[in-house]
Structure 1
């Protein structure tokens, strides 16, 4: 027993170093300049970021173009294209001597660096480029073997009603871009970008000569008016104040931040392909999202032009929520700190929509938001533009806002709040988001209809319903969905969550009876019989669109309601219904035309379909095979798995799928290696389970070696026996071992309690 305990302790003690080392293994290598940068979607270039500033490393050795995005630089206009997140600008690095040089670059996730090397005719230029983790600056460190002259040019885009300026103060070069004083602009945005050089002089026209044996460092500092009111002065002052001592401090803080990040959890599964995308996905999302900063939009801070697809906004019918899903189980809840604010900021407007458009209490949200109470999804403001883009002159649909036939945008937004609450049982967090959750409960209490002994949902649509150039005026005939599986699942999620949060915080006890009644009497999820005689899920119970009522089986949109993030179905919750969903997943192969198409994830749903299949209990080896086929089919060299309909949400796909195979808890029961072939050796450290538990475990030679649990909040832990049919020994420090038996182990814990479990025989 002492040997086992020593082994476990040594393994856990090495977890932090192992995670950092594993991240270091999975450097992304580029041997040619990026081909799809700039873009309105995901760039294919090396990337670095600090969750606020994003650096996209574009261009060629003779003319590098570094694009600088920032999560808080928006054109706060209610229609896209034109409105949405905007491009602050960037830095051009011109070096005619290095034109057509050999290209080599590495994206290094362990510390968010981009190392690049360019060689031509015996001349070698090396660059180490990184966005400082806790400072508003980009650092570029140069080394050369022969003198090389560069020309550095800050730039910022023209047009789109932006106002630009450029100048210099001492040795600092600067540019600014502003959006202000434009009709319908809801708030101004200003950005300043300031450049300074250490270790070499810079001429009036931006020329710098690099010398061998001497390091030259270029810094680029960015501030917006959302960072601080003296945004321009601060950028210039910080750039001017750069020194070797200050840069050493910035570097030290940067490396320490990323070290702490990688120490939060660790996974090893013996599969280098999936581990590569696991660690790079965690890296890219950490580079996209940070506490205290504006939440990332669809493309994160990796913006390379204005008017990105869908305005780069917060799209509420899954795109905004999905990027965060792996953060909870990966023990990176800090990356979700910025998620709630845009939803809270829209509360007052959401109440107005509910009252005046639907005559209901609570909140009714359009499909797309931005920061600070901005709606990004208004219909075009003139009938002529509406006709050109959507085939109808009616731009007053729903008073000019895009709800697209769906009532679920706000309640969809509540899903991540529940996930975070269940993961942490943080009372302060629960009280912070409770007004939003309660407003959703108000709305759905009013909107649900009592009919023949059950609650039903009318006119909330499974898919977006809107005019377009194909259907023109015919789109209204598609309205009329009744009991959409998406809606039923999310509403059930809401009232299940309201009961738990209300009990935990002690609020609104008088309303729990009503919420429980809704939960108990909500309509059953619609199913039907397929042509081959099996029972399968239906999208909706009734619809004017006949195809919607066919039993098509579980798919991306229905997974959102039922499995992820809805979390109201599963093998523990209802094994009989779960068997139907499992059969549906087994038939995904029937629709495949070629490898990589499993789950129909080329358009959307990579981050939903694969972990959804895990949660219903589909064969783990088959999921791994299909996931690797999907990765091979469509990915960029920077580790970003791409799909047509969105961007940073795919960063959740691999981490969440793997985490769910190793550890599940969403049904109130902790299960280790629930969908993992135990003949595959694997281990994980400090993955987060619902109930505020941090769990570590390993499987080797077909058996679970141990389970270690830290209980942060002292809640009761329900653990499925990792050794079926065997007795279990629970060990705590300085206490006698306790024996358990049975299929499910019920373990009482105290706050910050740590215990380990082993097979007793």
Structure 2
């Protein structure tokens, strides 16, 4: 995978003093219970965006599970295929049998600290995944003599070949039929010190992946802490809410531990893999799971952490073109629901009719030539959403050139697939939800096909062609095609609504054979994807009247609550979608915060990972994105400072990123915005909603007062590349 520029998103952190967050550790007083698991482990976690460490086991038998984002069993069916488990390290200290348990996951240090005690014996364990090296360092000390036993291991089975020698173990997949490419990982252990612990002496164990262990442990640890110190300085928020600040910080930590530039993209469970055949193969699920973990990184100014996102989509383009031609006889790219790295499809139907019948209630395993599209045509465009979010956030020409062929292939597909009927473009048979055989419907599913103008499809297609015009104009490409794209935008079918009991509500689809889809359900997770996030084609600036309908729908989410924390129906999926969407449509900020806290209390692990039934890493964007959107919005082309925040509550943010390639800091104190500081990376015009309603605004450019002032409810001012601007009210 090509390594992108590491400094993108690191710039301009000095314009306002970003602060390192408080400790905000997550503490364990008993051993983790949910390890190993097919989903999110309930254990202390550490990682470097490639290697993941899950700290499981008990004091007398610690089990360190190692995951790696690029270790896949490249088999196109799960279970069996998907991201694989490399192995682990067992640390046995028999003297700690039935000892007390204490461990903490420390985001600011990117490390795990544990203390185990029994009678007069106390053992301390510190472990981390070095930020700049693929080495796990574990240090153990004790206050009296005790023996440590070490066992480096890799699991057998699942057609793996396991080899072992002194201080190393390897696991590989290579000769399995249908395997698309081979993979291998080698763990190499080095021990420094005596395995019979002595008071005042340290036992250090390193486990290095795929190369000879590094010798200078002190240098690795210093580089590790320096990386995390700089990471926390890149942006920050202060909202005087310790609980949310803690989850905000921890979510950023877990995402940074899962994703880095130059590394393979994380799947549904990130690098925290503790067994083969994790749920959904731990793959890149394209109908939102793969995209959502990155959403908060854009506004949090962690652009470089999104560098790895595009490559799997670009790698699948060749197969995507074949799917479009072979199955639909049209141009462009057509993606199944799940893919992996290197052009891998993870989602073939089971290979035999018997397996198909056992799992899905039908013997028909050749649906769509054996690929799982599940009635959805929109997956490739769903993938384009993050590309557009990054483009608008950076206006990086090199990046735009890189992803433009993908965007253009999406446009080719939808130019051919859309139908122009009665003066409008319509979308047939692209389904709001997954339509598939299963044991519950006993394989009877085709009668559910036929969604017409799904809000998911309409919104994302509108997002695509709006983006095509913006990106092609920026790159001076395909000017002759813009008339067609504009015609589609202008004539795309309106989003369906229906009046029920005197209130206009959003419909999921204009019409459908599914009674559930065809009703006026109001705004929900899937329609949010098309309209608000990541679609970004609706909002109070774009269309205030339609936004009022969406806001009304959100205000009725409480009516559907079955239990505390279920606001927005996010126990299954969607916490990272519904809460930021409620912010964007303008729902009451205090109520959103109240419901967000209730959701966290209702369903989250002891390591601070907010859990959902249908996914994992996507929830890491939930708290950061919700808070960021309360403090700063720009997705509708207009910068809005504290747009949905209770102005009676003090708040502050440093170095959040806005569309237009602006990095912004501001403070709200005693009901008044104190200042707005803006760094313009690309010199674009900035449209801003006046932070001081009714007052004129003065500009200071590169520490020099500007001669003119700005007035009005909104205003636009020019900027220069790399210019620092401060806005303040003219008193």
Q: TM-score range by the shorter chain?
A: over 0.9
Q: Structure 2 matches for 1:314-713, cutoff 5 A?
A: 314-530=284-500, 532-713=501-682
Show CA shifts across 1:217-254 (max 9, x none).
1100112xxxxxxxxxx2xxx22x52xxx111111111
Show CA shifts across 1:708-730 (max 9, x none).
00000000000100111111111
Structure 2 distance, partners of 1:140, 1:546, is 56
Structure 2 distance, partners of 1:647, 1:638, is 13
SS in 2 for 1:213: coil
Name which of structure 1's ranges 376-385 and 541-550 shifts more when overlaid on structure 2.
541-550
**Alignment partner of 1:123 is 2:110:** no
Structure 1 distance, partners of 2:685, 2:198, is 64
Structure 2 distance, partners of 1:555, 1:161, is 42
Structure 1 distance, partners of 2:203, 2:306, is 37
Show CA shifts across 1:148-171 (max 9, x none).
211000111110000101111xxx
Show CA shifts across 1:398-435 (max 9, x none).
00000000000000000000000000000000000111
Task: Please list every run of 5 or more consecutive structure 1 residues that lacks an aligned counterpart in the other structure.
Answer: 1-10, 201-207, 224-233
SS in 1 for 2:445: helix
Match of 1:7 in 2: none
* Aligned-pair CA distance for 1:13: 6.8
Show CA shifts across 1:289-345 (max 9, x none).
010000000000000111000000000000000000000000001110000000000
SS in 1 for 2:148: strand
Task: Find the partner of 2:230 among 228, 236, 260.
Answer: 260
* Aligned-pair CA distance for 1:15: 2.7
Q: Structure 2 matches for 1:191-340, cutoff 5 A?
A: 191-200=185-194, 208-223=195-210, 234=211, 238-239=212-213, 242=215, 246-340=216-310
Match of 1:139 in 2: 137
Structure 2 distance, partners of 1:155, 1:547, is 49
Match of 1:188 in 2: 182
Match of 2:4 in 1: none
**Alignment partner of 1:160 is 2:158:** yes
Contact 2:699 2:705 (8 Å CA) reproduced: no
* Aligned-pair CA distance for 1:473: 3.4
Match of 1:229 in 2: none
Match of 2:727 in 1: 757
Structure 1 distance, partners of 2:321, 2:431, is 21
* Aligned-pair CA distance for 1:546: 2.6
Task: Find the partner of 2:147 among 146, 149, 155.
Answer: 149
Against the structure 1 CA distance between its residues 340 and 298, is the aligned structure 2 distance closer, same or farther, given a 3 Å change threshold?
same
Against the structure 1 CA distance between its residues 252 and 65, is the aligned structure 2 distance closer, same or farther, given a 3 Å change threshold?
same
Q: Structure 2 matches for 1:2-151, cutoff 5 A?
A: 15-16=17-18, 18=19, 20=20, 22=21, 24-151=22-149
Structure 2 distance, partners of 1:708, 1:89, is 48
Contact 1:731 1:738 (8 Å CA) reproduced: no
Structure 1 distance, partners of 2:511, 2:365, is 28
Contact 1:731 1:737 (8 Å CA) reproduced: no
Q: Root-mean-square deviation (CA), in Å?
A: 1.0
SS in 2 for 1:474: coil
Contact 2:50 2:264 (8 Å CA) reproduced: yes
Contact 2:688 2:716 (8 Å CA) reproduced: yes
* Aligned-pair CA distance for 1:188: 0.4
Structure 1 distance, partners of 2:707, 2:105, is 48
TM-score (norm 2): 0.97
Structure 1 distance, partners of 2:136, 2:682, is 39
Show CA shifts across 1:168-221 (max 9, x none).
1xxxx1101010111000000101001111123xxxxxxx11111112211001
Structure 2 distance, partners of 1:737, 1:44, is 58
Match of 1:205 in 2: none
Structure 1 distance, partners of 2:450, 2:15, is 57
Task: Please list every run of 5 or more consecutive structure 2 residues that lacks an aligned counterpart in the other structure.
Answer: 1-12
What count of residue pairs does the alignment treat as equivalent? 718
Match of 1:716 in 2: 685
Show CA shifts across 1:87-114 (max 9, x none).
0000000111011111111111012110
Contact 1:391 1:469 (8 Å CA) reproduced: yes
* Aligned-pair CA distance for 1:25: 2.3
Contact 2:16 2:655 (8 Å CA) reproduced: no
SS in 2 for 1:15: coil
Contact 1:670 1:720 (8 Å CA) reproduced: yes
Structure 1 distance, partners of 2:27, 2:188, is 30
